[in-house]
Structure 1
Amino acid sequence: MKNTLFTLVAITFSSLAYSQIGINTPNPQGVFHIDGAKDNPVTGVPSATQQANDITVLNSGFVGIGTTLPKQKLHITELNTTSGILNSFVSGIALTGIGYGFDGSGPGFYLENTNAPVGQRLLKLNYSLNSTEPVLNFQGVSDDAGSVGAQMLSITRSGKLGINSVNNPQNNLTVNGNASVGNAYTNVVAPINGAVIQGNVGIGTAAPNSKLDLGTSLGTNETDFAGKKLAVYNNAGGTDFYGLGISSGLLQFHAASTAAEAPSMVLTSGGNVGIGTNSPSQKLHVIGNILASGTITPSDIRIKKDITDNVYGLKQILTLRTINYKYKNEELGKDKKIGFIAQEVKATMPELIITANDEMNTLGVNYAEITVVLTKAIQEQQKEIEFLKKEIEILKKAK
């Protein structure tokens, strides 16, 4: 009899050792499974919103709240996506090892200020496992329903920092928008490379109009300087401007300019320099007078080839018409000038004519090389003078 009783007890405890315990559920999914309260206390029939299990404990020791398949020792999932603060955690969180682990693509951490107006209520911290996305994202969210807000700051796994909707910064610091620097001093042992700022930077001004804006605050004409790449202002009125600009393939140099003034000098992509003109047609194109103590033209025979005697002389000089004139475009000069007509010079000495690379293909005269023709003309005249002198001597002796 004692042996029979011992056998029954052993069988009972053996079956309990391999059983699963369920509270409010006839089909426990783990060692210990609790289903929430039912709406109908008589029949025990749950409503649709209570069909899901509340707590699940697997034989692996994992505990799930809101999920029947916990992935960690404690795995919590909020299924409510229509109301409440916790709907920011739709994707769930999981405690993993030391510290907290966040499972899924949703925000891992958030802060709410319930007294703040809509649009300023939440701060979300996201963690991304995607190798092409930042490790950490800080976002401002407009409401409790988890709407996507502006990305304020992102940090990649390589340590690159992006500010203001820069999702994947390619440099150590990338700022989208304007940046200003006031009274900031930093002791730097070595220069730091890799900073990129998309927008305008102001030093000494909170409203930069250029890529790098240095100097005092501007006056009412400050918008006229927009587009300049480097600006330095010597006064607060915007009437003493120094800087660089880029426009239509030109590098512009400004010195003591006002908002309405043209650049003092330009450099074209073709290497032409213009002073007083924005469209230089030659390597050095100057509108106005040039003062020089002297000019030198390379003339060494060692750098010349195809040398022949000049054929232009007195005959060609006698065909030239000298004129007085004024330019139609007063930007070329307002004073009365003297000179030649380029088309008339071209008819007899085309080598002295230069065609500008502009819309009109303007013709110019190489006045410097006319001196060679004048020299030849003087030589020819001198020969005639010498011949006439001999004729006179002969006539005198004949008397």
Structure 2
Amino acid sequence: MQHSAIVGASAAGVSAAIAMRSHGYDGRITVIDRDPHPPYERPPLSKLADRTLRPIAPPGRFAELDIELRLGIEVHGVDPVSRTLHLDASDSLRVDALLLSTGVAARRLTVPGSSLSHVLVLRDASDAALLADRLSAGGPLVVVGAGFIGLEIAALARERGLDVTVVEVGARPLQNLDERIGLRALELHQDRGVRFVLGRTVERFEGVGAVEEVVLDDGTRIPAATVVVGVGVEPRTELARAIGVRTDGQGIAVDAYGRTDVSWVYAAGDVASQPHPQLVAGPGRIEHWDVALKHGTAVGATMAGHPTAFTETPYVWSDQFGLTFQMFGRPRTTDELVMRPDSTSKSYLGFWLRDEVVVAVCGLDRPRDVGAARRLVQLPVGAHRDALADGGIELRALIKTMTRG
């Protein structure tokens, strides 16, 4: 009997296992993860209040599909000649195919004091439990990094009444998106009492045993009972490199079907550097939950003997202060953003144009409009920027006109 192992019970790993079964794979499937919890969704972790983890699949689904879960187990090494995974307690598994869905690790600051208690990151359930304890203990809270994770944690803490300061090296939040999006995020948070220190970096953390102050590069001191560091991630490529699989600056290099340059090894999800149609500058990672889920499904189909390229439009969302930001597509910094004229810090809709074609759409608290406008990205179609920016033209009528034919 053929045996396929999946390292990483992530969205990509679980969806791949399920897809293998749905495409007729009748061999043994083993999913291995160092996390002891049954596979759970990670996006809700930044909003976790009751400590209830949301399962990726119903608990009985794995037994129903004869998918073996080996949880709380570490893969310590791989023998690429015999295709053997070396696990804890001298245990090992001989496999015929291997999927690496190992994801990414939170990047930590290496400044003095970074090992003090209550300097946290957020990637898994244990991190979320620590954060929940610290939020219950009260502030002040300092968040380092104003990306989506940092902003979500800041919003959650403010909703609980904590004193919150966000430190960001860039000139605004969401530095990788258009300036107007970042400034609207800044206004939204400031209106609710979040303080921002922009254009500064952390020089050190100070405290006796536990963090008490954050010291910035200009000497500014910010009191802190808890610090959450959200300054990016690093792909977990250690196993791939141990096998001899090619990696690049982004992650594990794969083709459109999730295949690596080692015939029996595949990769999916956040760790995969993939050649997606929307990554016009070359292969790269797409670190979004929805993408990982669908990428895993495509790679699982390929592993089951039904080669499937992943080409779906990337989708990302973020919940802050009861409002949901959504984006379809992957804009580049050189793309032109056209906003609808009724846009505010609490509700907006925008379109990114590249060579007069809509390549991405985003919105805050506009789910119906974003859902309708995604058609412009999926086709894609040429656009008239003046019409997109004209509040006198009803959006759905405009989209219908643009997609006609």
* TM-score (normalizing by structure 2): 0.22
Higher fraction of helix: 2
Highest CA radius of gyration, 1 or 2? 1
Q: Which has the higher contact order (CA 8 A, sep 6+)?
A: 2
